[in-house]
Amino acid sequence: MRTRLLVALLALAPLMLAAPPPSPTAPRPSGSSGAVPPVPGTVVRSFDPPAHPYGPGHRGVGLEAAPGAPVVAALAGTVTFAGAVADVGWVTVAHGQGLDTTYGPLDPRAVTAGQRVERGQRLGRLADAATHLHWGARLHGVYLDPLLLFERWQVHLVDVTGLAG
């Protein structure tokens, strides 16, 4: 498990090295290569990863937003899913190197699967009945706290001898 986490962190590092850390509630300056907040609200529910793949937990964060608020892509990428899951609108964006972000509930959605989106481009609007945005991130299928996308990452080499197993 430690080896898998180390590999996941090293794979994400190149995406984070180019920019200083912003506030999660403030838009980044144009020209910066890091993530932008999908909505300007504060965190109303934190990331709480499950102990195992099907266990209880919160696989993303809840960001405060008003119904109908525009929701934007945190990073540039390609929309891999834009549709309903159990009658709730969701959008998933693949950013390369195994990183995907998810956004919901969105209604209406402004993008379609296969569409290229830029950082900060509108994906849709928060559904009328919603009180916050559910924002998630996965790296090679492993859930991670999407707020990490705002931080500047530094790569540290670690001796992994004896960690596998």
| Cβ–Cβ < 8 Å for 38, 133 | yes
Domain 36-149: assigned CATH number: 2.70.70.10
Q: What global pTM score does this model have?
A: 0.73
Where along the chain do its domains lie? 36-149
Longest CA pairwise span in the chain (Å): 52
| First CA to last CA distance, the chain | 8
What residue ranges of the chain have pLDDT lower than 70?
Answer: 1-33, 151-158, 160, 162-165
pLDDT at res. 52: 84
**pLDDT, tens digit, 9 for 90 and up, residues 44-68:** 999 998 888 788 888 999 999 999 9
